[in-house]
Homo-oligomer: A and B are copies of this chain.
Amino acid sequence: MRYSARHKQETHRRIVEEAARQFRERGLDAVSVADVMGAAGLTHGGFYAHFGSKEELIAEALRSLRGSGPAKLGAAAERMAPRQKLAEMVKRYLSPQHRERPGQGCVVAALGTEAGRHGPAARQALAERSRGLVERFLPCLPQDAGQPREELAIAVAASLVGGMVLARLEPDARAAERILRACRRFILDALDAAPEPRDAS
């Protein structure tokens, strides 16, 4: 072998990383194979040494975002009570920073309406990211609210995604922040109306 296997893996990783960023920033159609390769410091011809097609890259890029995103908290959150953790996740997700940087943010909020149309692989990958988002909220939610916590988690995730979509549509930054604030408060108020989870605090 010419270059070491590590070298190729590293290049592959860089391509996927750039793709994931650019797809979220500009959309699946607007980003060309040449764009991604250029951003990774390569020319477009080498693409097919790594991927069978653009569709394959899309699927891998979306899958690569497993467990990432703005609702992900650091190790410092380990000691937080569930309710506090939830509030922090909601705050981070519905933050102006997240709104302004779709390339670093939640892929469901960035590509939710278009990825499903791009082929089965892209659709499945995004459906998995969507379920992953929901599951991240599960452990922070009250067990004995009016609604099963699994359903609460779904609804919280939906509100976050919708809030970000609406905020990004709004060209005026102040109006956009108002949207984010309204959604943050709505979600947290709704959960406060239900009892706290019992397992912690």
Contacts and interface: CB of A to CB of B under 8 A. Distances in A.
Nearest to A156: B186
B163 A158 contact: yes
Interface in A18-41: 26-27, 29-30
A183 B159 CA distance: 8
Contact of A190 (B30, B126, B186): B186
Nearest to A151: B182
Nearest to A165: B112
Interface stretch (A51-59, A81-89, A168-176): A168-176
A124 B161 contact: no
Contact of A165 (B151, B158, B178): B158
Interface of A: 26-27, 29-30, 108-117, 123-124, 126-127, 130, 134, 146-147, 150-152, 154-163, 165-166, 168-171, 178-179, 181-183, 185-187, 189-190, 193
B162 A158 contact: yes
Contacts of A115: 169
A137 to B, nearest CB: 12
Contacts of A111: 113
A161 B151 contact: no
Nearest to A181: B151
Nearest to A189: B146
A182 B147 contact: yes
B112 A169 contact: yes
A185 B149 CA distance: 12
Nearest to A145: B189
Contacts of A155: 159, 163, 182-183, 185-187
A65 to B, nearest CB: 14
10 contacts: A29-B29, A114-B114, A147-B182, A154-B166, A155-B186, A159-B159, A161-B166, A189-B190, A189-B193, A190-B190
